[in-house]
């Protein structure tokens, strides 16, 4: 396995993403964050450029590339300064649609996956409920089969894209007597009668992405919208977590690198006591420590991506990377802010936003405690 996964083709692709980010993301990132949303047309624009279907086959409108290209996309997008917008995009490409691709029917791929990769339709993933987050098997939202329909009742919370989604990849209980063996995944159309969106959840960071509470009151979902087999949903969710967590880790690593770059540039410019602050050995040494940690985690991450792309089982390594890099991104952003002194604490510089945004990375998509639990259980076997 390699620790450097990029070729000349990757660099050409990187330049095209960077070009787009410089022109169409960076100038607006602060405004989107302050306003608490971003134009949904970004989905369409990314679809037109082929950025939503990087790793999907060409027959569904994708580019048929591997995760190393997705990595380039995420790294460059993260540098655009709107991690909230990027979160919303990754929910579409890496969290809500993979289950349809891996386990859905050809009809479902035609009807739902293709428009999602074009950016014409927006997806959310609905797993978390007020009473069940880490404990996915304990979800209560029910889907009772009646003829050719499922009748869905219950609620979801913390759903990214929840207020703007056309469809939700929805986790439901189809057998309430069972825990994880009673869960199924449905493709839920948000135009369905009985569906409603609760109040906008105000968050610490990732302001540009909307996070919503959702309610389902006797919603009729066609049985043909079932993904894969009934009661196999927990397995599909766990399988999906692999890609979801990997893309989240790439975002965390890229955010840490971006934060560090801001600190280094600032230290080279800012003067105190008649000299650039980078001349203070204590600050240089602190930067060296951070650069070393970030470089080591990046090489491990590239090794994990290479292994993932080879088709080998990478669950353990992805779990380790999520745990390590999620926590590292918070440490790096926090320490990077210190280099900017009082300016770092203001909203005139992007560093306070990065710190608020990366705080999510030890919580969303599985907490650090759950990552330790997954890895710790291996010690018992
Ligand atoms: C901004 C944001 C966006 C999100 N987007 C989505 C989305 O699009 N779709 C979606 O379905 N969900 C989404 N989530 C939900 C997210 O995945 C959950 O918040 C997360 O899984 C944790 O669940 P919880 O908040 O219910 O915490 P809980 O599960 O209640 O955990 C509370 C605390 O207890 C700890 N804990 C729990 N179980 C154990 C254990 N066995 N051992 C040790 N410690 C434990 C946790 O680590 C945590 O520290 C989002 C959350 C946020 C904040």
Please report the pLDDT score of residue 271 as a whole number: 98
Alpha-carbon gap, residue 316 to 234, rounded angstroms:
18
Q: Are 257 and 295 in contact (CB under 8 A)?
A: no
* Overall average pLDDT of the 297-313 stretch: 96
- Note if the pTM is more than 0.95: yes
Please report the pLDDT score of residue 199 as a whole number: 84
Q: Is the pLDDT of residue 32 over 90?
A: yes
Last residue of a domain, one of 174, 205, 230: 230
Let me know whether 92 and 113 are in one domain.
yes
- Is 128's C-beta closer than 6 angstroms to any atom of ligand 1? yes
* Overall average pLDDT of the 326-331 stretch: 98
- Is 326's C-beta closer than 6 angstroms to any atom of ligand 1? no
> β-strand 167-173 against 271-272: which pairing, if any?
unpaired
Let me know whether 353 and 240 are in one domain.
yes
Q: Which atom of ligand 1 is nearest to the CA of 127?
A: 11
Number of domains observed in the structure of the chain: 3
- Is 157's C-beta closer than 6 angstroms to any atom of ligand 1? no
The SS3 of residue 19 is helix
Please report the pLDDT score of residue 156 as a whole number: 98
Q: Are 25 and 88 in contact (CB under 8 A)?
A: no
Let me know whether 35 and 90 are in one domain.
yes
Last residue of a domain, one of 185, 200, 230: 230
Let me know whether 239 and 324 are in one domain.
yes
The SS3 of residue 200 is strand
* Overall average pLDDT of the 56-71 stretch: 97
Let me know whether 351 and 252 are in one domain.
yes
Q: Is the pLDDT of residue 111 over 70?
A: yes
- Is 182's C-beta closer than 6 angstroms to any atom of ligand 1? no
Query: How many angstroms is it from 333 CA to the middle of ligand 1?
Result: 22
Q: What is the CATH number of the domain that holds 170?
A: 2.40.110.10
| 152 domain residue, yes or no | yes
Let me know whether 222 and 273 are in one domain.
no
* Overall average pLDDT of the 295-323 stretch: 96
| 2 domain residue, yes or no | no
Tell me the pLDDT tens digit for each residue of 184-212.
999 999 999 999 999 889 999 999 999 99
Q: Is the pLDDT of residue 219 over 90?
A: yes
- Is 374's C-beta closer than 6 angstroms to any atom of ligand 1? no
Q: Whose CA is nearest to atom 23 of ligand 1?
A: 133
Last residue of a domain, one of 184, 214, 230: 230
Let me know whether 264 and 362 are in one domain.
yes
| 309 domain residue, yes or no | yes
Res. 25 pLDDT band, cuts 50 70 90: very high
Q: Whose CA is nearest to atom 41 of ligand 1?
A: 370
Alpha-carbon gap, residue 263 to 260, rounded angstroms:
5
198-205: long-range pairs with CB below 8 Å, 24+: 198/155, 200/36, 200/163, 201/157, 201/158, 204/356, 204/359, 204/360, 205/83, 205/84, 205/353, 205/355, 205/356, 205/357, 205/358, 205/359, 205/360
Let me know whether 294 and 174 are in one domain.
no
Q: What is the CATH number of the domain that holds 269?
A: 1.20.140.10
| 189 domain residue, yes or no | yes
Let me know whether 239 and 359 are in one domain.
yes
Please report the pLDDT score of residue 1 as a whole number: 67
Let me know whether 168 and 54 are in one domain.
no
Q: Is the pLDDT of residue 347 over 80?
A: yes
- Is 365's C-beta closer than 6 angstroms to any atom of ligand 1? yes
Res. 2 pLDDT band, cuts 50 70 90: confident
Q: Which atom of ligand 1 is nearest to the CA of 365?
A: 17
Q: Whose CA is nearest to atom 36 of ligand 1?
A: 369
State the burial class of residue 245 (Cβ atoms within 10 Å of its Cβ: 0-12, 13-18, 19+): buried
Q: Which atom of ligand 1 is nearest to the CA of 206?
A: 1
SS (H, E, C) 75-92: HHHHCCCCHHHHHHHHHH
User: ∠ CA(357), CA(334), CA(328), 5° rounding?
Assistant: 80
Please report the pLDDT score of residue 200 as a whole number: 84
Known active-site residue 76 = no
| 1 domain residue, yes or no | no
Please report the pLDDT score of residue 282 as a whole number: 98
Tokens of 23: 């022109």
Q: Are 205 and 356 in contact (CB under 8 A)?
A: yes
Give the structural domain span for 198.
123-230
Let me know whether 188 and 303 are in one domain.
no
CA distances from 254 to 153, 178, 247, 354 (A): 39, 40, 11, 11
Residue tagged active-site, from 230, 244, 257, 317: 244
Q: Whose CA is nearest to atom 37 of ligand 1?
A: 134
| 3 domain residue, yes or no | no
Alpha-carbon gap, residue 169 to 228, rounded angstroms:
12
The SS3 of residue 49 is coil
Tell me the pLDDT tens digit for each residue of 160-174.
999 999 999 999 999
Q: Are 129 and 172 in contact (CB under 8 A)?
A: no
Mean pLDDT computed over every residue of the chain: 97
* Overall average pLDDT of the 45-61 stretch: 97
Q: Is the pLDDT of residue 84 over 90?
A: yes
| 363 domain residue, yes or no | yes
Let me know whether 139 and 275 are in one domain.
no
Query: How many angstroms is it from 367 CA to the middle of ligand 1?
Result: 6
| 98 domain residue, yes or no | yes
The SS3 of residue 286 is helix
- Is 127's C-beta closer than 6 angstroms to any atom of ligand 1? yes
Q: Is the pLDDT of residue 96 over 70?
A: yes
Please report the pLDDT score of residue 4 as a whole number: 82
């Amino acid at each position: 396995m390699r620790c450097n996964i990029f070729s000349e083709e990757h660099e050409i692709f990187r330049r095209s993403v960077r070009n787009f980010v410089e022109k169409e993301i960076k100038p607006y990132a602060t405004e989107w964050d302050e306003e608490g949303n971003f134009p949904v047309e970004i989905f369409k624009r990314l679809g037109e450029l082929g950025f939503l279907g990087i790793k999907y086959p060409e027959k569904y409108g994708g580019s048929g590339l591997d995760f190393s290209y997705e990595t380039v996309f995420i790294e460059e997008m993260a540098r655009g300064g709107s991690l909230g917008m990027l979160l919303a995009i990754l929910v579409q490409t890496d969290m809500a649609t993979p289950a349809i691709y891996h386990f859905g029917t050809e009809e479902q791929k035609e009807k739902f996956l293709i428009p999602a990769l074009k950016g014409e339709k927006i997806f959310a993933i609905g797993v978390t409920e007020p009473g069940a987050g880490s404990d996915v098997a304990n979800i209560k939202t029910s889907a009772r089969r009646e003829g050719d329909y499922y009748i869905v009742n219950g609620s979801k919370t913390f759903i990214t894209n929840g207020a703007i989604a056309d469809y939700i990849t929805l986790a439901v209980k189809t057998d309430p007597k069972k825990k994880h063996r009673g869960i199924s995944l449905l493709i839920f159309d948000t135009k369905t009668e009985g569906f409603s969106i609760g109040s906008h959840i105000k968050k610490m960071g990732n302001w540009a992405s909307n996070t919503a509470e959702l309610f389902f009151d006797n919603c009729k979902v066609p049985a043909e919208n079932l993904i894969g087999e009934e009661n196999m949903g927990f397995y599909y969710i766990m399988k999906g977590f692999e890609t979801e967590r990997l893309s989240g880790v790439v975002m965390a690593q890229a955010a840490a690198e971006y934060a560090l770059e801001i600190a280094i540039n600032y230290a080279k410019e800012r003067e105190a006591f008649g000299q650039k602050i980078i001349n203070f050995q204590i600050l240089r040494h602190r930067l060296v420590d951070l650069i070393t940690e970030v470089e080591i985690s990046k090489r491990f991450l590239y090794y994990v991506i290479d292994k993932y792309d080879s088709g080998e089982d990478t669950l353990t390594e992805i779990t380790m990377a999520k745990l390590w890099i999620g926590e590292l991104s918070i440490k790096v952003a926090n320490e990077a802010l210190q280099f900017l002194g009082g300016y770092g604490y203001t909203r005139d510089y992007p560093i306070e936003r990065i710190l608020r945004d990366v705080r999510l990375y030890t919580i969303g998509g599985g907490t650090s405690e759950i990552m330790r639990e997954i890895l710790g259980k291996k010690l018992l076997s």
